[in-house]
Amino acid sequence: MTPAHGVHLIAELDGCERMPDLVAMQALLTAAAAAGHARLLTVELHAFGGTGGIAGVALLAESHISVHTWPEYGYAAVDVFMCGPAADPEAALAVLVEGLAARTVRTERLTRSAGSSA
């Protein structure tokens, strides 16, 4: 059996009651990385003007957390990919769900591995 290299969570958050600005989103991604026991390397964010959302990524030593928000729909697409024995992507996602105050969360969990070397 090939060992897993990481866990990749792909989540859709609906009914989000909070849509943070850039400063709050950076803090939220930083908190998510800490909850997931990941080492944060950098956060890059872009706000789309007016009532537009935010697109961003937290680059981790263990991989990444990305988020894209659509305030007009109360929707966020989140991607959490973490590698390593201490990583806890579910905890990182929980921070984002709480921070965005999502009413509904749909998650797909993928185990990433290199496959057989045979």
Active site residue 83: yes
Which residue among 8, 37, 63, 64 is the active-site one? 63
Which residue among 46, 83, 116, 117 is the active-site one? 83
Q: Where are the alpha helices (DSSP H) in the chain?
A: 22-35, 89-100
Q: How many CB atoms lie within 10 A of CB 52?
A: 13
Distances (CA, A) of 82 to 16, 33, 70, 91: 24, 10, 24, 11
H or E element in which residue 67 lies: strand 63-70
Which residue among 5, 37, 64, 68 is the active-site one? 68
- Residues labelled as active-site residues: 63, 68, 83
